[in-house]
Structure 1
Amino acid sequence: MNRKPSPAPRIVHSLAAFAAMMAVTLTITACSGDNVNTDSPATSAESAGTNVRLNGSGASFPFPIYSRWFKDFSEKQRRIRVEYQVKGSDAGIRDFINGTVDFAASDAAMEEDEIGKIKRGAILLPMTAGEVVLAYHLPGIDTLRLPRSVYPEIFLGKIDRWNDPQLVAANPGIDLPDTKITVVTRSDSSGTTFVFTGHLSAVNANFKSAVGQAKAPNWPPAANFVKAPRNDGIAAQIRQIPGAIGYVEYGFAKLTGLPSAQLENKSGNFISPGPEAGAAALSSVKFPARTLPGGQVPNLIAWVWDPGDAQAYPIASFTWLLVYAEQDDHKANAMRKLVNYMLSDSAQDLADSLGYIPLPNTVRNKVREAAEFIQ
């Protein structure tokens, strides 16, 4: 396990400010302007009819859209304040298990043994979806094709020059430089890494045996590998290093203007990331069911590691809000309101512009049903 992250300073809710502060640890604070008690992060509401604070932590994957949602929600619900500290999925899950937050966020969902540690019951709600892209820094090259036989080998350190014959063959007419590939990976335990390595393990047997799927894998000890914390840290490193490539959530690449490679999917098509390609990837998702106190509720955890749709971008996943089933009445009511807002048309309509995939109505309905178990 990685060392505990240092406390994160608060920042303004401006996506432009975020782009300028990519290397800084981030905290979302969605404030209503009312005077709110800011003592313990998981205390009850001060009294009936007064202010409620919901404090959360976790994944950086949904940061851009959560930042906007939490700000907009607090402006509409002026007695509810939402705070969210970006730490990474694994740290958010630890906080959730330890009960130091009111909710958490994770791109890796939770394992069954982790869910079993939550005495009050855990409800996992997919709130949006996104794609993990391979962003790169090759001056003058705005379009890059990466075959599925190649990009896992880059992250194994086996292909380490941009003018490798396999890359040249896949990119006719593009003058790929004789430059070292600098591979940027996460230094923290990460749900984005879990999704990315899950896909690489599904499509490449060498990667599965040498690295495998994990939130904090042991990357090859190659000289051309560097590490950075969170999605924003990887994006910052890519921008600074010519010849760099790394995996980030599509919204971060879009927000910062980093080009993303076209990846060859299971059908042999080279697909650019985007809302349509991401929706095609998740079109075959089916949710199982599990039991929570009070009856049967959808277990809204599902993965598609190598989607088969011909137009699917190959790396896409939901990101989950982790909520306690049993909690203080005031906070339960506030959390249900927050979830319902995040599922609303006005909130989901923001997804595309911020680089996310809006949830289909069928999924939204399942999330609404599960949210009713927040009591």
Structure 2
Amino acid sequence: MPTLRRAVVGRAALAALAALLMSMAGLAQSQINPSMPLYQLHGSGTSNPALLIWRVMDTMMARTKPKIAMSYRSIGSGAGGDEFAALNSSAFGCGDVPISPTNFNRTLQQNNPMMHVPFLVGSVSIFHNIPGIGEGLYLPPCTLAKIFRGEISQWNHPEIVTNNTHLPDLANITASIGIVHRNNGSSSTYALTHYLNKSCPGEWSGKGQGVGVTISWTSIPAARRTMVTNSQTMVEQIATNPYSLGYVESGQGLLAGLEEVQILNANNLTLTSSDAAIAPESFIASQFPLGNLTTANWTAVNPVYGPSDAKNQWPLTLGTYFYVRTNLAYLNETGGLLKLFLSYMLSDDVAAIMPEYSFTALPKKNGTETVDGQRDFVFSSKRDSYLMNTMSTLAADDKETKNTLKLGDAYQVHGSGSFVSALMIRHSMRVLQGRARVPVSMTYRAVGSVEAQLELGDVQNMYSSYNHFKVWVWGLREGLPFAISALGIYHTKSFGWTALTLNCKLLAQLYRGEIKAWKDPRIFSLNGAAASSIAEQETKASVTVFAMAAPSGATYALTGFLTKSCNDDWRAPTGPLTSVEWAAGVNTTYQGRPITTPEEMLAALAATPNAIGYLPVTLGASSGLAEAQMEVTTTTTTTNKSNRMRIVSKQADLARAVTQ
């Protein structure tokens, strides 16, 4: 999948932070005493870099001494600027657009002006979810303008179809276009609307549409539009709603697997963000006043659809800035923590993890210009001493943490084991990853219960395991039970009966290789009146019995049932077995390959007529295969009478097994 190139103004803004230290003297040396109270830093703003900011904050909280607390609320650039200008609401703001002139002037009126600290230059893209239409969709500027103001409402509109003759299926898609848009104060809306207005003003502002972080979307019928509150929910809405169209930070959309729309840049070149230049040196120099981070000129910065020497310059380009006061004395100890946070955000350590978020470092040439513009500011010696002490602690991370960061997210959980619970575990992992405040990586390898035991034993054998937990489907001396599931018997034989019925004895005889044909009278006898129907269909059809070739939890369940319920017919020398030396008539291969997983068992059954085999119900229930009824004997507790009943797995009382 293509990745977005994004620029980090790391070294460019680092030296500029000297301005923050003008009024920070007087910070007590006792702050490094572990008995001091908790120090806190809270900010808010754009959702685009939220994942990175959360990760950096969490890393700092884990490594910094004394204890600190940090948070960042992903509420949008506009709201972040408003809270920052309120002075007491947040220590810093963050936006993908410069702070508004109104809020900039508020800081001047408060006698505590602000500065813009740029740290990212990135991009916004437009994404679609049209089933059957993958990459290659092209929407010219005026067509996009008509779509986002509601004039074009169908995917097979002639204007869309005409510009996409390479996608003939579009003409047959009659579905309405579902627009997903951001809430008020969104920098992504700022990028989109400025692009539409600069590239096709006649179809945007010329039709009364607004431009900026907040616009009215009422020209689109309410039934066709959905508002979301941040970039993460924008991605979710597009991904889960067929025929939708939305816009979001390019890296987040691409990493989520969304299909990007091709658009036109200022040089009349059709491209996607993965083909484009995001932040070449000449573009950065021409668009951003890096020589003075405190100037009011920052409020007019707008790189969207800006001119560039690069022919493939991306048109929906935004800078990302921290909004910070030049005098941090009012924050007391939090001022030092803010300086530490900003310094770390612009450090080589954070630059090293930028590629995981599709970010790349800005050329150092741009950093020199910023340093030159900030030479008049000096550091407080006391603050510098405290910060250097804390930064030393921050840099002294242990080997394990370094290795973890090289592998990806700071928090990782990896496990392996049973096939039976794989779907449930992976679903739970996706939910946890989606709800975590900081980036979390979680994986589960379905390798089978036996392999999980072997991997667990690696630790005792002095081998290092990369897994944090194992899952198996039978009891060990140590383990935490968390679920109970069933094994089903599935077949591909068409009968005259409503359902095939088997019992333990017949199942044992099938897996001992004694029953070789469906016309066997033992099968007829149990299935009763419909015996003639099966004889009339295929009296000579042989039974193809499939079993697992490799050690398996499913085999353990099957042999456990046979041993406990009808061992006289099964005749096993021991109890439940994970691996069996099957009779000659039992097939353990499919297409010349051993059957080692439930998925391979399912494939063998689905492709083989007149076959029978066993599957975890978690897989078999959704396979489309027919499940055999099992005739079982139950005992009524009150009367102590035995009853025979025929059930399939979904009718079984699995919870009862826990109490027995």
Q: Which of the five TM-score ranges fits, normalised by the shorter chain?
A: 0.7 to 0.9
Are residues 215 and 348 of structure 1, via their aligned partners in 2, closer, same or farther at CA, if it must alter by over 3 Å?
A: same
* In the alignment, structure 1 residue 133 sits paired with structure 2 residue 125: yes
Q: What is the CA deviation profile of residues 142-198 of structure 1, one whole-angstrom value per residue up to 9, with x for unaligned ones?
A: 212222232122112122222223322332331212321111111332122122212
Q: What is the CA deviation profile of residues 35-58 of structure 1, one whole-angstrom value per residue up to 9, with x for unaligned ones?
A: xxxxxxxxx999622553211111
* In the alignment, structure 1 residue 54 sits paired with structure 2 residue 46: no
Distance across 2 between alignment mates of 1:238 and 1:108: 24
* In the alignment, structure 1 residue 164 sits paired with structure 2 residue 162: no
User: Which range moves more in the overlay, 249-258 or 117-126?
Assistant: 249-258
| Helix, strand or coil at the partner of 1:322 | strand
Q: Which has the higher contact order (CA 8 A, sep 6+)?
A: 1
* In the alignment, structure 1 residue 207 sits paired with structure 2 residue 199: no
Distance across 1 between alignment mates of 2:216 and 2:268: 29
Question: Which letter maps to 1:342?
Answer: M
- 8 Å contact 2:145–2:196 — kept in the other structure? yes
Please name the residue that 1:91 is paired with. Answer: 79
Please name the residue that 1:25 is paired with. Answer: none
| Helix, strand or coil at the partner of 1:69 | helix
Please name the residue that 2:328 is paired with. Answer: 327
Structure 1 length-normalised TM: 0.77
- 8 Å contact 1:55–1:103 — kept in the other structure? yes
- 8 Å contact 1:325–1:374 — kept in the other structure? no
1:291, distance to aligned residue in structure 2 (A): 8.5
Are residues 70 and 316 of structure 1, via their aligned partners in 2, closer, same or farther at CA, if it must alter by over 3 Å?
A: same
Aligned-residue CA RMSD in angstroms? 3.0
- 8 Å contact 1:61–1:231 — kept in the other structure? yes
Are residues 169 and 356 of structure 1, via their aligned partners in 2, closer, same or farther at CA, if it must alter by over 3 Å?
A: farther
Distance across 2 between alignment mates of 1:298 and 1:81: 34
1:358, distance to aligned residue in structure 2 (A): 3.8
Distance across 2 between alignment mates of 1:360 and 1:301: 24
Greater radius of gyration (CA):
2
* In the alignment, structure 1 residue 104 sits paired with structure 2 residue 93: yes
Which blocks of at least 5 consecutive residues in structure 2 are unaligned?
1-26, 381-660
Are residues 343 and 243 of structure 1, via their aligned partners in 2, closer, same or farther at CA, if it must alter by over 3 Å?
A: same
Please name the residue that 1:313 is paired with. Answer: 314
- 8 Å contact 1:250–1:355 — kept in the other structure? no
Q: What does 1:1-375 align with in structure 2 at a 5 Å threshold?
A: 48-49=31-32, 50=36, 51-79=38-66, 80-99=68-87, 100-118=89-107, 119=110, 120-143=112-135, 144-174=137-167, 175-176=169-170, 177-205=173-201, 206-209=203-206, 210-223=208-221, 224-274=224-274, 277-280=277-280, 282-283=283-284, 284-287=286-289, 299=298, 302-308=301-307, 309-328=310-329, 330-356=333-359, 358-365=361-368
| Helix, strand or coil at the partner of 2:134 | coil
- 8 Å contact 1:131–1:315 — kept in the other structure? yes
Are residues 350 and 140 of structure 1, via their aligned partners in 2, closer, same or farther at CA, if it must alter by over 3 Å?
A: farther
Q: What is the CA deviation profile of residues 86-130 of structure 1, one whole-angstrom value per residue up to 9, with x for unaligned ones?
A: 122222112111121111111222122311212222111111122
- 8 Å contact 1:197–1:214 — kept in the other structure? yes
**How many aligned positions are there?**
329
Distance across 1 between alignment mates of 2:184 and 2:299: 25
1:357, distance to aligned residue in structure 2 (A): 5.4
User: Which range moves more in the overlay, 146-155 or 330-339?
Assistant: 330-339
Structure 2 length-normalised TM: 0.46
Distance across 2 between alignment mates of 1:141 and 1:348: 36
| Helix, strand or coil at the partner of 2:237 | helix
1:268, distance to aligned residue in structure 2 (A): 2.0
| Helix, strand or coil at the partner of 1:167 | helix
Question: Which letter maps to 1:171?
Answer: N
User: Which range moves more in the overlay, 106-115 or 301-310?
Assistant: 301-310
Are residues 189 and 264 of structure 1, via their aligned partners in 2, closer, same or farther at CA, if it must alter by over 3 Å?
A: same
1:217, distance to aligned residue in structure 2 (A): 0.3
Percent identity over the alignment is: 22
Are residues 83 and 365 of structure 1, via their aligned partners in 2, closer, same or farther at CA, if it must alter by over 3 Å?
A: farther
Are residues 126 and 158 of structure 1, via their aligned partners in 2, closer, same or farther at CA, if it must alter by over 3 Å?
A: same
Are residues 286 and 60 of structure 1, via their aligned partners in 2, closer, same or farther at CA, if it must alter by over 3 Å?
A: closer
- 8 Å contact 1:129–1:357 — kept in the other structure? no
- 8 Å contact 1:136–1:260 — kept in the other structure? yes
- 8 Å contact 2:94–2:320 — kept in the other structure? yes
Are residues 61 and 327 of structure 1, via their aligned partners in 2, closer, same or farther at CA, if it must alter by over 3 Å?
A: same
User: Which range moves more in the overlay, 55-64 or 217-226?
Assistant: 217-226
| Helix, strand or coil at the partner of 2:321 | strand
| Helix, strand or coil at the partner of 1:277 | coil
- 8 Å contact 2:104–2:296 — kept in the other structure? no
Which blocks of at least 5 consecutive residues in structure 1 are unaligned?
1-43
1:290, distance to aligned residue in structure 2 (A): 5.9
Are residues 157 and 373 of structure 1, via their aligned partners in 2, closer, same or farther at CA, if it must alter by over 3 Å?
A: farther
Distance across 1 between alignment mates of 2:367 and 2:231: 26
Please name the residue that 1:13 is paired with. Answer: none
1:237, distance to aligned residue in structure 2 (A): 1.7
1:300, distance to aligned residue in structure 2 (A): 8.5
As a proportion of its length, which structure holds more helix? Answer: 2
Question: Which letter maps to 1:48?
Answer: Q
Q: What is the CA deviation profile of residues 15-47 of structure 1, one whole-angstrom value per residue up to 9, with x for unaligned ones?
A: xxxxxxxxxxxxxxxxxxxxxxxxxxxxx9996
Distance across 2 between alignment mates of 1:54 and 1:275: 38
1:322, distance to aligned residue in structure 2 (A): 0.8
Distance across 2 between alignment mates of 1:45 and 1:102: 20
| Helix, strand or coil at the partner of 1:129 | strand
1:336, distance to aligned residue in structure 2 (A): 2.5
- 8 Å contact 2:78–2:213 — kept in the other structure? yes
User: Which range moves more in the overlay, 54-63 or 144-153?
Assistant: 144-153
1:227, distance to aligned residue in structure 2 (A): 1.7
